[in-house]
Amino acid sequence: MDKSSFIAAYSAIMEKNRLTDFAGEALAERFFALTERMLEVNAHMNLTAITDMEGIILKHYADSLTIAPYIPDNASVIDVGCGAGFPSLPLAIARPDLRITAFDSTTKRIHYISETAEMLGIRNITAITARAEELALDPEYRERFDISCARAVARLNVLSELCIPFVKPGGAFIAMKANAAEELTEAENALRKLGGKLRCADCFSLISDSASDENPRCMVVIEKISPTPKNYPRNYSQIKKKPL
């Protein structure tokens, strides 16, 4: 992948998606290094099916950074089910003020994130292997974060039970969804039981450099207005079988 072409495409896509704070060349170079590392590891580990330059910039980096304006300065953030490190790795690069914990149940992915952070000098991220429904019951992690976030396909009522318990009262859970209108109504009971309240659901489209297609997104921000009852989250089989 050509570095100068990457930097030009990165800056253009960030500008088109109103992410101008992150469009500079210095950041573009750091994201180029992340791209090289990701593609190298992806050759022997299933990290992503998106391997073209524009797709990586738009659907991994720009998509991850759309959450940044919703996160206060110097916040503690937990990325729930981080997969290959999205949005946690791009956030850690673009927002060095944040203190980020990323976790996933797949040990290989966590090793990749930890090794990548060390190789690229990303010092504000910690990656651990864990399951959300277990980690959220650990006093070291329960209600310890300003922000929890998830970029996942699970329904909002399921995600809420896994993510809201990590957040301090006064903080927020941010769900990064493709479409959330139907799920918001479905999740009302879950939010009420878990101590959450909908603050906003901002819907928009990611715009590619070629502008040939649109990628709908919705940022759902749920305030933590009261502590989560101790009986949540339940074990995952219960959550899946009988969502709140």
Rounded Cα distance, 131 and 236, in Å:
9
| Tens-binned pLDDT, residue by residue, of the chain (244 aa) | 899 999 999 999 999 999 999 999 999 999 999 999 999 999 999 999 999 999 999 999 999 999 999 999 999 999 999 999 999 999 999 999 999 999 999 999 999 999 999 999 999 999 999 999 999 999 999 999 999 999 977 899 999 999 999 999 999 999 999 888 889 999 999 999 999 999 999 999 999 877 556 788 999 999 999 999 999 999 999 999 999 9
Q: Say what the pTM is.
A: 0.95
CATH code for the domain defined by 54-241: 3.40.50.150
Rounded Cα distance, 123 and 143, in Å:
23
C-alpha 122, offset from chain centre:
16
DSSP-assigned letter for residue 199: E
In 67-116, which ranges are E strands? 76-80, 99-104
